[in-house]
A and B are shown apart, each in its own frame.
Chain A
Amino acid sequence: GQQLNQSPQSMFIQEGEDVSMNCTSSSIFNTWLWYKQDPGEGPVLLIALYKAGELTSNGRLTAQFGITRKDSFLNISASIPSDVGIYFCAGQLGNYGGSQGNLIFGKGTKLSVKP
């Protein structure tokens, strides 16, 4: 089945540093979503991307939908301790894969922030 390759698997950074993570796939997606998950909680939507090349910001978060429709990145600027958590990319194949709308998730990037 389709897979998303998310990297890095984990990051341990100092407070104030910028963070970058990305997802790639051999499949074409029509939607990319980025979620954050805290321990024992459900994924919380951070950013949604719908058009190839689209660059969207949400506060200190910026994400882009790759031109090829096969990748996306998420940047976090000036990290703070509450950014700690696991970040997941999720793609929706849509018409490109005959999907009815379900999301395919990456394996997550675990972010740790040192004060």
Chain B
Amino acid sequence: EPEVTQTPSHQVTQMGQEVILRCVPISNHLYFYWYRQILGQKVEFLVSFYNNEISEKSEIFDDQFSVERPDGSNFTLKIRSTKLEDSAMYFCASSEAFQGAEAFFGQGTRLTVV
């Protein structure tokens, strides 16, 4: 069964360092997303991406964040200068369409900023 895969599963980084979280969406999906879940809280939308550009972003997705599709299979989230409050689970998701389609999530990357 096709699935969204994310690497690494756990990333520990020093405050102020840059991190790149990687995702391989389901191969025939064209719409990609990043979500964040702070421990014990709900899942929050960060950004959606289609046709090599950002479609929508939330207030959380400020200038320290960026996304990229560097090749035909990977989708990355970069956090330029990490802060303690960036510690969370980051989930990548993909879907066949923006609306009326099921979004499938990866297993997540646990980011710990120390």
- 14 pairs, A vs B, C-beta closer than 8 Å: A31-B99, A43-B105, A45-B102, A88-B43, A92-B99, A94-B100, A102-B45, A102-B56, A103-B33, A103-B35, A103-B103, A105-B42, A105-B43, A107-B42
**Which residues of chain A (90-110) have a CB below 8 Å from chain B?**
90, 92, 94-95, 99-108
State whether A104 touches B45 (Cβ < 8 A).
Answer: yes
Residue of B whose beta carbon sits closest to that of A102: B45
Residues of B contacting A94 in the complex (Cβ-Cβ under 8 angstroms): 99-100
B33's partner among A45, A48, A102 (CB-CB below 8 A) is A102
Chain A interface, number of residues (Cβ within 8 angstroms): 27
Contact B99 A42, beta carbon cutoff 8 Å: no
Within 8 A of B (CB), among A70-98: 88, 90, 92, 94-95
Number of B residues near A (Cβ < 8 Å) is 30
Min CB–CB distance A48 → chain B (angstroms): 5
Q: Answer yes or no: B107 CB below 8 A from chain A CBs.
A: yes
Q: Which residue of B lies closest to A6 (CB)?
A: B42
B95 in the interface, Cβ–Cβ < 8 Å?
yes
| Residues 32-64 of chain A, each 1 if its beta carbon lies under 8 Å from chain B, else 0 | 010100001111110010100000000000000
Interchain CB contact under 8 A, B98 and A31:
no
Say whether A30 faces chain B, with CB atoms less than 8 Å apart: yes
CB within 8 Å for A100 and B98 given contacts A107-B42, A108-B42: yes
Query: Which residue of A30, A35, A105 has the most chain B CB atoms within 10 A of its CB atom?
Result: A105
Known: A30-B100, A50-B100. 14 other contacts (CB 8 A): A33-B102, A42-B6, A44-B105, A45-B103, A90-B43, A92-B99, A95-B99, A99-B56, A101-B55, A101-B99, A103-B33, A103-B103, A104-B45, A105-B43
